[in-house]
Amino acid sequence: MSSMPKAYLTRRIQLSACHRLHSTSLTVEENARVYGKCNNINGHGHNYIVEVTLFGEVDQRTGMVMNLTDLKAEMETAIMDVADHKNLDKDVAYFKDVPSTTENVAIFFWCNLKQTMKKPSLLYEIKIHETENNIVIYRGD
């Protein structure tokens, strides 16, 4: 018997947050050199666009990999509730000693989704547009 067709399903959300690039593993001078203007002590903000992609079988009866309404709710819990309108470094415990680069933000959202999704095995990719030009993709590796 042939297997069910599979598809990629993506939902995009936007969130606003501020942060400062700073590493507790670097000296003050190293932080200033590595992160430049992004090490500004009072931080700066972004309107992050976050795209979560699932990959899985298209259920024959429903025609869906997952109901997008359910994916929306799962992204609210794992991403929006914890990061929207927050200071990432001060309001989110994960970033206390982890630099809030977009790479690490993507890893953080990935871990949150894996912990809270009903079917975490469907999670395929998180893509974050930090700015129009700066984009990170994380696939759990």
Ligand X SMILES: Nc1nc2c(c(=O)[nH]1)N=C([C@H](O)[C@H](O)COP(=O)(O)OP(=O)(O)OP(=O)(O)O)CN2
User: Which residues are at the interface with ligand X (CB under 6 A)?
Assistant: 21, 38, 101-103, 130-134
Q: How far apart (Å, rounded) are the C-alpha atoms in residues 20 and 33? A: 14
Active site residue 85: yes
102-116 and 68-75 helices, crossing angle to 10°:
120
Which of 44, 57, 85, 111 does the annotation list as catalytic? 85
SS3 100: coil
Q: What type of residue is 109?
A: F
Which residue, 43 or 56, has its beta carbon nearer to ligand X? 43
Question: 138 to each of 40, 55, 123, 125, how far by Cα in Å?
Answer: 26, 14, 11, 6
Active site residue 130: yes
Which of 38, 51, 103, 125 does the annotation list as catalytic? 38
Q: How far is the CB of 133 from ligand X (least distance, A)?
A: 4
Which residue, 103 or 125, has its beta carbon nearer to ligand X? 103
Which residue, 29 or 132, has its beta carbon nearer to ligand X? 132
107 touches 141 (CB < 8 A)? no
Catalytic residues: 38, 85, 130
